[in-house]
Structure 1
Amino acid sequence: MMALQKTLSLLLLLLLTLLGLGLVQPSYGETMYQRFLRQHVDSTQKGGTSSYCNKMMQTRGMTRPRCKQFNTFIHADIGAINDICEAQNIQCKNGKMNCHEGVVRVTDCKLTASSPRNCRYQGQGSSRHVVIACDGDPLVPVHFDG
């Protein structure tokens, strides 16, 4: 029991240290750009599987307080995604004209089952057209529109 308390204390200290250094941020303090990166960008993996989706949706905080129904991860570096923001403006689903389209490798994660604290996803990888909304100066991605 004492060892468990010591481990939990060390983990809490580590989390507080990381928060203090700005390496981990609580979701309520995110900019729209940071939220976009957390929810939609993974340049380190190819994805494409259900196990990938199950892991990433949980790791990236999209299973609390409830399971997110659908999410897309883009498998490109942020430079390539920022380049999409330089493409011609097109209309977003909300009617604004700050969306841009490009082709990238993605993994779509669709919720297939959920119970308290257990979200299960089906993953499918492909290369396809995506639409993202961009804002700021310079333009950066802030919303995945489709």
Structure 2
Amino acid sequence: MALQKTLSLLLLSLLTLLGLGLVQPSYGETMHQRFLREHVDSNWTGGNNWYCNTMMQRRGMTRPRCKQLNTFIHADIGTIKNICRTPNIRCKNGRMNCHGRHVRVTECSLTASSQRKCSYQGRGRSRRVVIACQGNPPVPVRFDK
């Protein structure tokens, strides 16, 4: 009887850990936290190579590999969360939980990489971004385009 209880608790613990693993990506971040780290910088207008090289490293997108392309949104988190309240549109993956709006961004494109350094070209502009939102209330969880 004690062995059965122990095995049941072990199985329940394993299922709980698996469930958490499916919800939370690497580094113990939620999808929303990862979105904020990778795509939100309300304190800077960016737009150049120095900005991209600095931010990509600072935000952890150069290890273990250089991320090919990343977009930073230059708006406060309230403005970005409000994008989730705009009408739903189809995401690239076919789901209908995306939303769009024009904002100021910096697009960082990888130009060269070595074992020690990632080099990026930065381009600042205003454009329409599309983000996926989840939850109640909905929050941004993925940059779509």
8 A contact 1:48–1:123 mirrored in 2: yes
The answer for the alignment partner of 2:118 in structure 1 is 119
User: What secondary structure, in the 3-state scheme, does the structure 2 residue paired with 1:131 have?
Assistant: strand
TM-score of the aligned structures, taking structure 2 as reference length: 0.82
1:40-84 CA deviation, whole Å, 9 max, x = no partner? 000000000000000000000000000000000000000000110
TM-score of the aligned structures, taking structure 1 as reference length: 0.81
CA distance in 2, matches of 1:96, 1:81: 20
User: What secondary structure, in the 3-state scheme, does the structure 1 residue paired with 2:46 have?
Assistant: coil
8 A contact 1:63–1:117 mirrored in 2: no
The answer for the alignment partner of 2:102 in structure 1 is 103
1:14-42 CA deviation, whole Å, 9 max, x = no partner? xxxxxxxxxxxxx5210000000000000
Identity across matched positions, percent? 71
Higher-Rg structure is: 2
Corresponding residue pairs, total: 120
The answer for the alignment partner of 1:14 in structure 2 is none
- Give unmatched runs, 5+ long, in structure 1: 1-26
Q: CA deviation at 1:133?
A: 0.1
CA distance in 1, matches of 2:33, 2:82: 17
CA distance in 1, matches of 2:126, 2:47: 10
- Give unmatched runs, 5+ long, in structure 2: 1-25
